[in-house]
Structure 1
Amino acid sequence: MRGRLALLVAATTSLILVAFLVPLALLVRTVAEDRALHAANVDAQSFSSLLATADPEVIRLAVERVNLSDDHQLTIFLPDGTTVGEPAERTESVDLALRGHTFTADVDGGMELLVNAQDSTGEQAAVRAHVPAEVLHRGVDRAVLILVLLAVVLLAVSALVADRLATSLVRPTTQLAAVSHRLARGELQARADPAGPKELRDVGLALNHLAGQIETLLQQERETVADISHRLRTPLTALKLEAEGLRSPEEARRVEGLVEELERAVSEVIQDARGRSGGDGQTAARVACDAAQVVSERVRFWSVLAEDTERHVELDLAPGPLLVRVSPGDLVAAVDSLLGNVFAHTEEGTSFAVRLRPAPEGGAVLVVADAGTGFGGVNTGRHVLDRGNSKGGSTGLGLDIARRTAEASGGGMSLGASGWGGAQITVRLGPPDPD
């Protein structure tokens, strides 16, 4: 924008300078020619009057004295065919002047001025003044050079003024863009310093107001999520007390373990909701975890339920550490959503497989496949990735959680068909930030 404004002003200034300086240069040239011809005309008219009264010798001496200068050269054509002064041919122009005409004409090397005159006997004579081209244009080159230098100076000044003006517009715009990018990265405390023209100041104030509203709304949303999660603690506590009263110690320990796992998940939700309310701008690029460790722990947890429902589990987990750009809590939620979908949407006894391997470009690839009914085709099943879309009576958030986690890490998620003919979900997790 800054360069375009400067270019626009330079182009406009150039057009204005050309529109004024070209006619001015032509005017200077015309004035110089008129000045030189006027001096020649004065001398020619003087000698046309002198021919009628002065002695021929006096005329000859006067002409020689005038011809000593370089401004113009005089030639007098007498009625008897002789000439006085600068030697010159008797041309058609001279004959025309002898017949009573006074005029100027272009000739090689300059211009000539011809004036009709009469000698002392009343016969027709002619006075010719030849003005060289260098005399006609004397001082024109210098004047044009001054005009060009003036144009260059004016163009430079206009470019400087345009650059200052563009800077006053571009700098506030750049600052507004920087604040917008900071807000997009999650730095909700970022604010613009309104500067520049009134319109840009209004935009800065509007952006600050919008950022404040976003921060307020997000704070309310996070507090609401945290409050809702906190309300679950009461029924969890009651459920834990009921589990302690079970007669079978083994069943009591199992139920207590499930309750403790649920309580841990609720606590993580509360901490995550309140921890992000500070608006410190922390992004997924600044967190990392060992995917091998997290996936192994979650598979170990779900394997107990798999044994109870007679499901065969195939595991192919790469040894750690296998660092990915995801926080441990987010990866736990993603893995639980994928494995939970297997138990929720397939019949008991359906086999499933979990594979984890390092990605060639860094990070990891997690594959969860089952022997269920699948998505009804790879292409038609793509809709299940949209939040809220589900045909199984669920909330439709499970796959969306996994997808958002994968995309936040710099990876992605895709659906397909497993070797058993069921569903296969591939999650690509990006590598952690080098810092």
Structure 2
Amino acid sequence: MRRRLALLVAATTCLTVIAFLVPLALLVRTVAEDRATVRATADVQGLVPVVGTADPATVRLTVEQLVAESGRPVSIFLPDGSVLGTPAARTPAVALAARGQSLTARTDDGREVVIAVQGRPGGTTVIRTVVDEDELTSGVTRSWLVLAGLGVLLLLLGLLVADRLARSLVRPIVALSGVSHRLANAELTARAAPTGPAELREVAGALNHLADRIQVLLREEREQVADLSHRLRTPLTALRLEAESLRDPDDAARITAGVDALERTVTGLIRQARWRAAPPRAGTCDAAEVVGERVAFWSVLAEDTGRTVTLDLADGPLPVPVAADDLAAGVDALLANVFAHTPDGTAFRVRLTRQGGGAVLTVADEGPGIPPGLVRRGVSGNDSTGLGLDIARRAAQASGGRLELGGRVGGGAVVRLHLGPPR
């Protein structure tokens, strides 16, 4: 913007300077030529009384004195054809002046000034002088340089004013851009200072109003999530009591462990929903341990539904930059999709490998595959919330990785969770 304003002012100033200085420069040259011509005419007119009345010797002496003083050639053409002063040939202007008409003519050497003098016997005497180009343009170059310097000065002054004006416009815009980037980075306390022109002040006020509105909406959403998560504590408590009343100690321990994991998840949701300042730092966990634990948990259900589970884990520890709860939630989401979207008896495989300092978790099943469009949050082709794959994707992105969906030869779905290396 500053460059465009500078170019606009420079173009406008140049056009203005050209419109005024070029005619002024031509006028300066014309005035200089007229001044030199008038000066030469006045010098030769001083010879008129002498030429009209004095004898040739006096006229010659006077002419030679004038030539020495002025530095211009002066010639006197007498009626008898003789020439006094500077030798010169008769020109058309001299011939015209011999008829009684004084005039000024343009020649290759400059300007020719001829004056007709009446009174001598035998006819009209003609006084002729020539003003050369150097005298006609004397001082013109210096004047043009002054005008050019004035034009450059005006141009620089215009650019300076344009730069100051551009700064006063660009600085608030840059500040608004910085505030918008801070808001995009979840710094919801960022506000724009209403400075600059009225339009920019209005934009700053609108941006501040938007930030306030975002804070209100986020606060309401967090309160709703926290309330919803808190409501889950009552059925969790009832489920824990039911688990403790089971006669089989193994079943009671297994269900109690599941309730504990669910309660930790609910507690994490409440804590995240109550977050106000900065997001918590991403933790680090052993991916091999977390994946192994979650697969062991789901293996019980797989056995009940007649599914064959193949687990291929890389040797641990395998640290990844994501919290254990988040990774466990992502693994649970992927395995839950297998149980929810494939018929009983469908085999699946879970594989965790090292890759580039991080890890790749692959969940492959022999079911019908993943329908197109299921990657989007909240979209599901079946009776589900459509958030499972999004939970896994967010866990991968928290570690600097990504989620990939694909298929197997012969049918089935393949989901790869790329987890980045520790930071």
TM range (shorter): over 0.9
Q: Is the 8 A contact 1:291 1:324 kept in 2?
A: yes
CA distance in 2, matches of 1:10, 1:324: 58
Rate the CA distance shift 1:37–1:409 in 2: closer, same or farther, 3 A.
Answer: farther
From 397, 400, 406, the equivalent of 2:387 is 397
User: Which residue identity does 2:213 align to in structure 1?
Assistant: Q
User: Which residue identity does 1:32 align to in structure 2?
Assistant: A
CA distance in 1, matches of 2:100, 2:323: 110
Rate the CA distance shift 1:251–1:297 in 2: closer, same or farther, 3 A.
Answer: closer
Q: Is the 8 A contact 2:79 2:122 kept in 1?
A: no
User: Which residue identity does 1:317 align to in structure 2?
Assistant: L
What is aligned with 1:378? none
Q: Is the 8 A contact 1:367 1:424 kept in 2?
A: yes
CA distance in 2, matches of 1:103, 1:298: 116
Q: Secondary structure at the match of 1:390?
A: coil
The offset of 1:409, in angstroms, is 4.6
What is aligned with 1:365? 360
CA distance in 2, matches of 1:329, 1:71: 106
Rate the CA distance shift 1:411–1:70 in 2: closer, same or farther, 3 A.
Answer: farther
Q: Secondary structure at the match of 2:89?
A: coil
Number of equivalenced pairs: 423
CA distance in 1, matches of 2:248, 2:319: 41
1:222-260: per-residue Cα shift (whole Å, max 9, x none)?
111011100110111111112212222222222222222
Q: Is the 8 A contact 1:75 1:127 kept in 2?
A: yes
CA distance in 1, matches of 2:306, 2:350: 16
1:121-156: per-residue Cα shift (whole Å, max 9, x none)?
260222112111111111111111111112222222
The offset of 1:325, in angstroms, is 4.7
* RMSD (Å), alpha carbons: 2.2
What is aligned with 1:107? 107
User: Which residue identity does 1:313 align to in structure 2?
Assistant: V
The offset of 1:340, in angstroms, is 0.6
CA distance in 2, matches of 1:100, 1:357: 118
CA distance in 2, matches of 1:327, 1:104: 102
Rate the CA distance shift 1:29–1:40 in 2: closer, same or farther, 3 A.
Answer: same
Q: Is 2:369 the counterpart of 1:374?
A: yes
CA distance in 1, matches of 2:284, 2:3: 43
User: Which residue identity does 2:22 align to in structure 1?
Assistant: V
Equivalent residues in 2 for 1:231-310, closer than 5 Å:
231-275=231-275, 277-278=276-277, 280=278, 282=279, 288-310=284-306
What is aligned with 1:91? 91
- Between 1:292-301 and 1:142-151, the stretch displaced more is 292-301
CA distance in 2, matches of 1:71, 1:290: 106
User: Which residue identity does 2:258 align to in structure 1?
Assistant: L
The offset of 1:49, in angstroms, is 4.7
Q: How high is the TM-score relative to the length of structure 2?
A: 0.93
Q: Is 2:408 the counterpart of 1:413?
A: no
CA distance in 1, matches of 2:48, 2:398: 102
Q: Secondary structure at the match of 2:7?
A: helix
Q: Is the 8 A contact 1:186 1:283 kept in 2?
A: no
Task: Structure 2: state its 5+ residue gaps.
Answer: none
Q: Is the 8 A contact 1:98 1:124 kept in 2?
A: yes
CA distance in 2, matches of 1:330, 1:159: 58
Rate the CA distance shift 1:133–1:322 in 2: closer, same or farther, 3 A.
Answer: farther
What is aligned with 1:336? 332
Q: Is the 8 A contact 1:385 1:403 kept in 2?
A: no
Equivalent residues in 2 for 1:152-191, closer than 5 Å:
152-191=152-191
User: Which residue identity does 2:64 align to in structure 1?
Assistant: E
User: Which residue identity does 2:354 align to in structure 1?
Assistant: P
CA distance in 2, matches of 1:283, 1:40: 95
Q: Is the 8 A contact 1:192 1:205 kept in 2?
A: yes
Q: Secondary structure at the match of 2:52?
A: coil
Rate the CA distance shift 1:54–1:323 in 2: closer, same or farther, 3 A.
Answer: farther
The offset of 1:52, in angstroms, is 2.2
CA distance in 1, matches of 2:410, 2:271: 40
User: Which residue identity does 2:383 align to in structure 1?
Assistant: G
CA distance in 1, matches of 2:25, 2:286: 80
CA distance in 1, matches of 2:143, 2:397: 70
User: Which residue identity does 2:223 align to in structure 1?
Assistant: E
Q: Is the 8 A contact 1:310 1:348 kept in 2?
A: yes
Q: Is the 8 A contact 2:80 2:122 kept in 1?
A: no
The offset of 1:332, in angstroms, is 2.3
Q: Secondary structure at the match of 2:121?
A: coil
CA distance in 2, matches of 1:13, 1:119: 60
Q: Secondary structure at the match of 1:389?
A: coil
What is aligned with 1:47? 47
Q: How high is the TM-score relative to the length of structure 1?
A: 0.90
CA distance in 2, matches of 1:14, 1:339: 73
Rate the CA distance shift 1:327–1:140 in 2: closer, same or farther, 3 A.
Answer: farther
- Between 1:302-311 and 1:363-372, the stretch displaced more is 302-311
